[in-house]
Amino acid sequence: MNQDSSTRLDRLEALAENILTGLAQTNLSIDKIREELSETNKALAQTNKALAETNKGLLETRAIANSNAKSIQALSGEWQETRKEWEKDRRGIYQLLGQLTRSMSDFYDVQSDFYYRFDQIDERQVRITEILNRYLPPDNPEN
């Protein structure tokens, strides 16, 4: 039994040694995994930081885009108001031009009538002078 016990003990020692070696290797593997996890956590932290910066940039871009949209909308509204005012002014100018044209037409009618009456007065004056010359004696400077 001694030999049996000794063989058993040797086997138990070898088994214990194998288990300890396996445990040591497992501990090394676990340490390696911990290091890799630590590196992964660092990489995740950097990624999270980059994502936060990207989100911040996106928020700023959205704010700028919203501001630009509001500016474009305001300018569009101002442009439409300016266009309406321009159209109103244009209609007013055309109305004034129409009134000016009518006034010029009336002026030319009055001017034509004036010249016609002026010609009639000249003709009457000539006739009156002829009548007066016929009925009145001529002026004699000798008398």
Q: What is the DSSP string of 25-79?
A: HHHHHHHHHHHHHHHHHHHHHHHHHHHHHHHHHHHHHHHHHHHHHHHHHHHHHHH
Q: Which residue reads 């009134």 in tokens?
A: 99
The rounded distance, in Å, linking the Cα atoms of 35 and 41 is 10
Which residues of the chain have a pLDDT value below 70?
A: 1, 140-143
The pLDDT assigned to 142 comes to 60
Distances (CA, A) of 26 to 13, 37, 42, 53, 118: 19, 16, 24, 40, 132
The pLDDT assigned to 74 comes to 84
The pLDDT assigned to 92 comes to 94
pTM for this one?
A: 0.42
> What separation, in Å, do the N-terminal and C-terminal C-alpha atoms of the chain show?
201
The pLDDT assigned to 140 comes to 61
The pLDDT assigned to 143 comes to 47
The pLDDT assigned to 49 comes to 93
